[in-house]
Chain A
Amino acid sequence: MKSIPVSTTINGDACEFLCAPDETLLDALRNRLGLTGAKEGCGTGDCGACSVTLNGRLVCSCLVLGVEAEGAEITTIEGMADGDELHPLQRHFIDHAALQCGVCTPGILVAAKALLEKNPEPSDEEVRYWLAGNLCRCTGYDKIIRAVQAAAAEMRGA
């Protein structure tokens, strides 16, 4: 299977990689680019741990082929903080104990950020439905909802 060169933009930086035609974007990010923040929890789009944005849309990177990244703009958890400065969601997740094992956390943060960009003042129910595709087995979601709302409130005030 012949590899295909892909030119793309990841977290604002131009980036080129080679990947097999049947390789997922998740595998390309993790194994070719060293961006291991996105996790494979299921490989079938059921858990959301591999969430990234592709041209501004929240997607599961396990359900995107690496070759589809050609010419696209991708953001991952690694691009969420501004250098040393954590994004308010990241800060509130720590402060509200919204993570335990943390393996779902990158996907949830990427998804929550996409939500707040679309809807800066979501109801709890809207947060819950938006994040329904991000499984968390540790927290029971309670503290995640609170952290997202706290970050949303701070971002609205800013």
Chain B
Amino acid sequence: MRYLAATTAREAAEALAAEAGVTRVLAGGTDVLVQMKAGLVEPDLVVDIKKIPGIATITPEAGGFRIGAAVANAVLGEHEGVRALWPGVVEGANLIGSTQVQGRCTMAGNLCNASPAGDAAPGLVAANAVARIAGPEGERDCPVADIPAGPGKTTLKKGEVITSILLPARPARASDAYLRFIPRTEMDIAVASAAVSLELDADGTVKAARVVLGAVAPTVVVAEDAGRTLVGTKLDEATLAKMAKACEAVCKPIDDKRGTVAFRTKTAGTLAKRAALIAYARAGGAK
């Protein structure tokens, strides 16, 4: 294995493109090193992107924030501005692993690891976040929702590296929330998860809603019907129950050591209900 600490995104992209063997991008390393330890991957080239100038910074941009691909989630969690604007995104990112893992892991890494259960992905998708990607042929922007292609697979092409993620601006009276279910209180992979992002009218009626579910399909799922159910309501119980059913309808989970189809399906709806209420309160909706 060769190790390269790239000093520009271009250098990283070119090195990755030129390598004929197995490559891995190293940001926090909390997935790559685990896979190496387990013998699941034996890279010929590892490109460390943390030495690229600016890649570990958070920058305000157009009313939102651009999060560098090497910003550790612990650093993200300490950023007052991002926390205020996108609290659900930050709480998802901050649920990954332990305090120790938080000191290293990144949202971009979580996205590229492409686990259906990644805790950062639902919040980012609910936020309509956009990834900036450097490649051998230059830069491009891509909605985060289009990055995962299936368990362990992304739509990134050979040589492409995510360099930052843009969390967009949002109006007043808008917020988001993320919840996952795990058997313990910490240290588990999500068995099911839900992110809800809401925009409210002045009177507290939901104007726009996006509901995204994790760990219930090969990739995160945007529950379009569930989101539509919430619009025009103040999250009364009947609406929430209907929304939960709409969530259940889009779940296509698997039975495995972490949960059953029935459990994941039911729990995704439950979590979406609970997350919606949290997002609603955060957005200033009074219940």
Contact = CB atoms under 8 A, between A and B. Distances in A.
Given A46-B187, A57-B72, A133 B33 contact: no
Q: Which DSSP category, helix, strand, loop or mixed, fits chain A's interface?
A: mixed
A126 to B, nearest CB: 11
A21 B97 contact: no
B100 A65 contact: no
A45 B30 contact: yes
A81 interface: no
Given A63-B33, A133-B186, A133-B187, A45 B100 contact: yes
Contacts of B34: 44-45, 63
Interface string B18-38: 000000001011100110111
A64 to B, nearest CB: 7
A120 interface: no
Contacts of A68: 26, 29, 48, 50
Using C-beta atoms within 8 Å of the partner chain, give the interface range for chain A: 20 to 34
Interface residues of B, number: 29
Interface string B24-62: 001011100110111000010010101000000000000
A114 B100 CA distance: 10
Contacts of A155: none
A115 B3 CA distance: 32
A16 interface: no
Contacts of A1: 1
A61 to B, nearest CB: 9
17 contacts: A21-B3, A24-B33, A44-B34, A45-B30, A59-B104, A60-B104, A62-B33, A63-B34, A63-B100, A64-B104, A67-B3, A111-B99, A115-B99, A130-B99, A133-B97, A133-B100, A133-B101
